Amino acid sequence: MTRKIPVTMATQHPDNATASPFTGNRFVSTKEEISECVKCFAELGVDEYMWDWEGKFVDEAVIDRLLQENYDYFAENQLGKDKFLTFRIPNIWEEKTGEHRLQRAFMNAISAKSAAKNYGLHTPPIFEMILPMTTSAEQLIHLQKTFRKTAEAMKAIYESNEGLDEIEFIPLLEEIETMADPTLIEKYVDYLEEVGRKPKYLRIFIARSDPAMNAGLIPTMLAVKSLLNNYHEFGKSRGISIYPWIGGGSLPFRGGVNPENIEAIIEEYKGTMSFSIQSAFRNDYPLEQAKAGIQKLHAEIPRNLDKYIRISAEELAKIREFNIEAAKIWRATVEPLAPFINEIASKLPSHRERVQHIGLFGYARGVGKVTLPRAIKFTGSLYSLGIPPEFISTGRVLKLAKKMGMLDLVEKLYVNLRNDMLHAGKYFNRENLEKISRENSEFAVIKEDIKEIEDYLGEKLEPKESRHFLHRNYSSNIYYLRKAGKDFSRDLLEAARFRKSLG
């Protein structure tokens, strides 16, 4: 029997500006995540929930708590068959304290099989894990070997054959260079075939936030579309079904996955099977609207799996050349902005119990030689100033596209380019950019981007409705309060509520 492939996955990304409809709080503690998981299944109707071991604290009794406290629900909606719990594990090549948590995640998944059997429910309840920041097949192969050794050791110690023998690893690709290179998955499949485990399908997780943070918006969108083409074509050549998965937040810079934008993302991401449903999607829109958006995705997304945009070898070569140059423009612009962005980000609230990501306790997300906050706070910082990150380098990148004869291809692949620019433009504070540019010369080049984008669109980037003007007012408050050395944290949150996402 072919397994059900999830279309929607609720994640623990803390990008919400308002309280959860389930708890009444913006902050979700580790203890509350069990309840959140069940409500996302039962009330929102999502297929899958990410249990996140990457850089955060986690309730390791998750299977027992879910099945014991919600037995009737899971008797009707079997975990691992009808609903899915998928671990995102630490990347031990990036996260310094990740190794001991990786070991615990492995043992947790292995023992979950016998736990579910004891409850008389479907087994195994967990059979997939996501590796963030995957950069090579060797990482996936190492994890396969390590998991096998762990499973064999547990069997020997407990003299039991009830544990999980094998696991499926889902690569989460977060760099445009990795996304453009299908040899990663080719090498991984070669290994699986060598050990007698040729997969019938592969789920490929495509990040939208971190690639944009590292290379800019347009290069990221071109890399995503290249990946969809390359991986589907690879799957056909090897007789493997490919199920791509977009990990996107609500704002265009992070994917534009929100209840108001469902039709657009269905059109934009043809060839995709799954979408992440992050906290802002669930909390910052009316519950009924969020549920309707999820239902629409379930109805429409599976029909589009083979409708990805085909890209020729010549076009792929042009994209690679263009992306190298476009990413240089982004990185040269963002690196000098880092101190300013980090200052604003430090005032944005945290909504989950995260392990510290810098220094001894983890890894830093960065661009070039500088360290930046994670993508949510990076995006939220710039929106809070009225300078959406969608615009940074984009004007000059569009100019580069014209120069390289690439503009038609960019428009063909980035279907909602115009709409995304206009959406971000509603939160643009022109006065703030002028003032900040006079005081911080590194921001001045963004004015060139704005001019090029407005010339391309044929209209001004500016607020349109009342909530956009109110957002502009709060971004002005943030500028003046910061300049006066006063607290502006309340205004940060109010602005986020009006744009319906922290970042």
Q: Tell the residue number behind the tokens 């929607």, with chain if given.
A: 8
Least trusted range by pLDDT, from 108-117, 121-130, 436-445: 108-117
Helix boundaries (H) for 77-135: 98-118
| Residue 161 in this model has a pLDDT that exceeds 90 | no
For the stretch 187-245, pLDDT in tens is 999 999 999 999 999 999 999 999 999 999 999 999 999 999 999 999 999 999 999 99
Q: Tell the residue number behind the tokens 């490929």, with chain if given.
A: 204
Contact 384, 475 (CB under 8 A): yes
Q: Tell me, what's the pLDDT at 154?
A: 85
pLDDT bucket at 22, cuts 50 / 70 / 90: confident
Which has the closest alpha carbon to 456: 386, 404, 397?
Answer: 397
Residues 40-65 have a mean pLDDT of 92
Q: Tell me, what's the pLDDT at 355?
A: 52
Structure tokens at 218: 């347009």
Q: Tell me, what's the pLDDT at 362?
A: 32
Contact 401, 452 (CB under 8 A): no
User: CA 245 to CA 276: how far, in whole Å?
Assistant: 8
Structure tokens at 417: 């380019």
Please give the C-alpha separations between residue 231 and each of 185, 240, 272, 356, in angstroms, as whole numbers.
Answer: 8, 10, 11, 34
pLDDT bucket at 285, cuts 50 / 70 / 90: very high
Across-strand partners of 172? 205
Question: How buried is residue 42: exposed, middle or buried, by Cβ count under 10 Å (0-12/13-18/19+)?
Answer: middle
| Residue 79 in this model has a pLDDT that exceeds 50 | yes
Contact 402, 411 (CB under 8 A): no
User: CA 358 to CA 362: how far, in whole Å?
Assistant: 5
Q: Tell me, what's the pLDDT at 98?
A: 77
Q: Tell the residue number behind the tokens 């029909």, with chain if given.
A: 303
Contact 209, 375 (CB under 8 A): yes
Which has the closest alpha carbon to 257: 280, 287, 273?
Answer: 280
Q: Average model confidence (pLDDT) for the chain?
A: 93
Dmax (CA) for the chain in angstroms is: 71
Which has the closest alpha carbon to 12: 282, 197, 251?
Answer: 282
Which has the closest alpha carbon to 475: 439, 415, 435?
Answer: 435
Helix boundaries (H) for 159-286: 176-179, 183-194, 209-215, 217-238, 262-268, 279-283
Helix then strand then coil, in percent of the chain rounded to 5, is 55, 10, 35
Strands, DSSP E only, in 108-209?
128-131, 168-173, 201-207
Please give the C-alpha separations between residue 48 and each of 126, 128, 232, 362, in angstroms, as whole numbers.
Answer: 11, 11, 23, 27
CB count, 10 Å around CB of 54?
Answer: 28
| Residue 296 in this model has a pLDDT that exceeds 80 | yes
DSSP string, 31-81: GGHHHHHHHIIIII--SEEEEE-SSB---TTHHHHHHHHTHHHHHHS-BTT
Q: Tell how strand 128-131 and strand 365-367 pair up.
A: unpaired
Structure tokens at 26: 């913006």
Structural element, H or E, at residue 276: strand 274-277
pLDDT bucket at 446, cuts 50 / 70 / 90: very high
Structural element, H or E, at residue 365: strand 365-367
Q: Tell me, what's the pLDDT at 352?
A: 62
For the stretch 317-370, pLDDT in tens is 999 999 999 999 999 999 999 999 999 999 998 866 555 443 322 344 556 667
Structure tokens at 318: 């042009």
Q: Tell me, what's the pLDDT at 365?
A: 53
Contact 185, 202 (CB under 8 A): yes
CB count, 10 Å around CB of 61?
Answer: 12
pLDDT bucket at 158, cuts 50 / 70 / 90: confident
Which has the closest alpha carbon to 132: 85, 164, 86, 200?
Answer: 86
The angle at the Cα of 105, spanning 294 to 228, to the nearest 5 degrees, equals 45
User: CA 435 to CA 480: how far, in whole Å?
Assistant: 10
User: CA 97 to CA 357: how far, in whole Å?
Assistant: 10
Q: Tell me, what's the pLDDT at 369?
A: 67
Q: Tell me, what's the pLDDT at 450?
A: 98
- Compute, in degrees rounded to 10, the torsion defined by CA atoms 137, 138, 142, 144: 20
Contact 215, 178 (CB under 8 A): no
Residue 177 backbone zone (phi > 0: left; psi -120 to 50: alpha; other: beta): alpha
Q: Tell me, what's the pLDDT at 55?
A: 73
Structure tokens at 162: 């009830």
User: CA 117 to CA 410: how far, in whole Å?
Assistant: 51
Structure tokens at 106: 């492995």
Q: Tell the residue number behind the tokens 């005032």, with chain if given.
A: 347
Structure tokens at 361: 């306790």
Question: Could you give all domains of the chain from N- to C-terminal order, each with its CATH number?
Answer: 8-304 (3.20.20.60), 313-499 (no CATH)
